[in-house]
Chain A
Amino acid sequence: MRRIAAAVALIGALMLVAAAVAGGAHRSSPTKLTIWVGWSAGHELTSFKALAAEYDKAHPEITLKVVGGVDDNKIVAAIRSGTAPDVVSSFNSYNVGNYCGSGGWIDLTSLLKKDNIDPSIFPPAPRYYTQYGGKRCALPLLADDYGLYYNKAMFKAAGITHPPRTIAELTADAKKLTVRNKDGSIKVAGIDPIIGFYENVPERWITSYGGKWTDAKGHAILGKDPAWAKWATWQKGLVDWYGYKKLIRFQAGLGDEFSASQAFEAGKLAMNLDGEWRVAFIAHEHPSLQYGTAPMAVDNAHPELYGSGYINGTIIGIPRGGKHLDQSWALVKYLTTNNHFLAQFSNLIRNVPTTKASLTSAEIKPDVHFSTFLKIFGNPKSSTSPIMASGVAYTNLVQNFFTKWQAGGVKNLVAGLNKLDSQLDAQVAQAKGGGVP
């Protein structure tokens, strides 16, 4: 019995030694880096993977694994449970407030300083939405901006010669381009103004009116800034012209936003507010579509805003608890500051490159549709939404209000907006952990 025990112990010891040796031998094999990205639809993920493979090849000391289709819930859950990958990237710049504030994504300021990277190489909007509370915990990885897509064939048929520049023109064009069925239901909509539809969210429309979100102290001013009420009144007016229920019914029969039967691509919408990435989707899915791009129409009272738009973008960072800080940082640095990579990736998925140098790079493949968005991105009046401690819940609350409003659930708009302001402030205070102010 004792002999058997001794034999087992010896074998066990031998195995431990073998494992240690093997482990030691593995130390010279490449470090496995995992990066999570949000891209999932068709060509977007494959494009990133192809470019990432190039980086992988150029760096034999690491092997890179790309996981696509990751959303913020996954990232948060992973950080909480300590299973976060080495590098993460998110579409929701809104949540930077949470990531920086809680330390979920590490502060990159010291790393930037060490490598002599000045944050001013990034344009102002991406610079803004990658930091919070004095900490820069993210860097921008290609940005999105929004403008107007319009169907040239439908415009010609309706006798409209140029894309609308003012809201009044937009309204008139939308009404002219709308086609109804015999029973009164909508067959083709000039534009779908419903908040919550595709990319229609308040922050993307309010830039046309120059609306501000917060005052200098960070308190919400949606009730005080008249732009919001003006926009909301116009929006509901257009919704009521179509008929709210008719619009909902119309929407229920439309294709998914990221499928080949997207409503604009399928000819069900004459105009649509959409992001710059749609150019690549149309090129892939409906190359024969006759369309044009232009900046979104602006408030008649603010013609100087024309040419600007809403900007947000993908952010990338290193989650807390990552084990390979040096290699992760090298990858992040490459993905965010290497102008060659940014230009190539931009060409592939038609997102806006996020360094000033890559914006004007000669490597960007010229495309008449896409150049509109480059111009919007460079327009000094283009803006982004505020980064708040409550993260995406902030913008969700605003969106909820306007979905109620468009359905007729708010009797007094300004009073409702004022109440919304106090709710937003309370929400921020709660997120900071102080409760109701």
Chain B
Amino acid sequence: MSEATAAAAFVRRRPPARVRRRRLVSVVANHCILIAVAIAFLAPFAFITLTALMTNSQALSSNFWPHPFRFQNFVDVFSKAPLWRWTLNTMLYSGLATLGVLVSSVPVAYALARLRWRGRNLAFMVVLVALMLPPQVTVVPLYVMWAKFQPFGFNFIGTLWPVIIPNWFGDAFSIFLLRQFFLTIPEDYIDAARVDGCGEVRILATVVTRLAKPALAAVALFSFLFTFNDFFLPLLYTGTSPHNWVLSIGLSQFRSFHQVQWNLTMAATLLVMAPVIVLFFLAQRAFVEGVTLTGVKG
């Protein structure tokens, strides 16, 4: 025993100066590199912001600093293009899709994690496969399907519904995530509830409301982010109907609106980035926990 403590005490003594110096150099180098990379990461934001405050002619020249600062640009952006309309569309899409994902993925994930049935593993494999296949694989027939399906003469093409509706029937990524999470809920907890005579539905409800909040928050966050940033699917279905554009489509087309200039384009870019970044600062812990959840449980 005393030997171990003696050994520990030996290890804890100050290492020789040479080693200390080497460690200091490595720490300083580490910091320097990190700071350099951090500056490189922040630089684009700085450039975009500065350009957003310039006049058009300045934006077309190689000036760095706006002369004068034109905050008016942020207001002009709204008059040049229907930014409010796009924001509304985006909120509609993201909101409804996220809600649908939550509602539909939870029972599926639970069934895959906590109910025992034949074919469960196969079903999970199917979910994994669906997760990995690119959307381009199914995109053509889906478009045809929505184009031909016109109940009461209502046309789905040109609206956001073809993008929203599938989210109400389960989303592979969310199912995967939730299933991994549900697997971590102790078996005995659920067994106890079963013995008490709770129906599975009731168990699910209790588990969801009491235990799964961080996972649900992560799923909601990712779903919201994904739909907020979604470009390909909205492009397909609403690309030719400007009044239904979401922010990502509108922003990409911004420069063709009445020949708008780069300074306004950058201002619009900043405005589109802003909500997500604000959301991040408000819900930082949820973000990081969520991201970690995907990686660790994945």
Contacts and interface: CB of A to CB of B under 8 A. Distances in A.
Interface of A: 40-42, 69, 73-74, 77-78, 80-83, 253, 255-256, 258-261
Contact of A258 (B239, B240, B259): B259
A253 to B, nearest CB: 7
24 contacts: A40-B258, A42-B258, A69-B242, A73-B239, A73-B240, A74-B241, A77-B157, A77-B158, A77-B240, A78-B158, A80-B147, A80-B157, A81-B156, A81-B157, A81-B158, A83-B155, A83-B157, A83-B158, A253-B60, A255-B60, A259-B259, A259-B261, A260-B259, A261-B60
A261 B263 CA distance: 14
B255 interface: yes
A269 to B, nearest CB: 16
B72 interface: no
Contacts of A80: 147, 157
Contacts of B155: 81-83
Interface in B201-253: 239-242
B292 interface: no
Contacts, number: 37
A41 to B, nearest CB: 7
B: interface residue count bin: 10 to 19
A250 B150 CA distance: 50
Contacts of B258: 40-42
Nearest to A262: B259
Contacts of B157: 77, 80-81, 83
Interface in B130-165: 147, 150, 155-158
Contacts of B241: 74
A256 B259 contact: yes
B226 to A, nearest CB: 24
Nearest to A253: B60
A73 B241 CA distance: 11
A78 B259 CA distance: 25
A78 B240 contact: yes
Contacts of B150: 82
A42 B258 CA distance: 7
A69 B256 CA distance: 10
The 3 closest A-B pairs by CB, nearest first: A74-B240, A81-B157, A259-B259
Contacts of B147: 80-82
A259 B255 CA distance: 11
A367 B235 CA distance: 43
Contacts of B261: 259
Contacts of A40: 258
Contact of B239 (A42, A69, A77, A255): A77
A196 B183 CA distance: 57
A258 to B, nearest CB: 5
A71 to B, nearest CB: 8
Nearest to A72: B240
Nearest to B144: A80
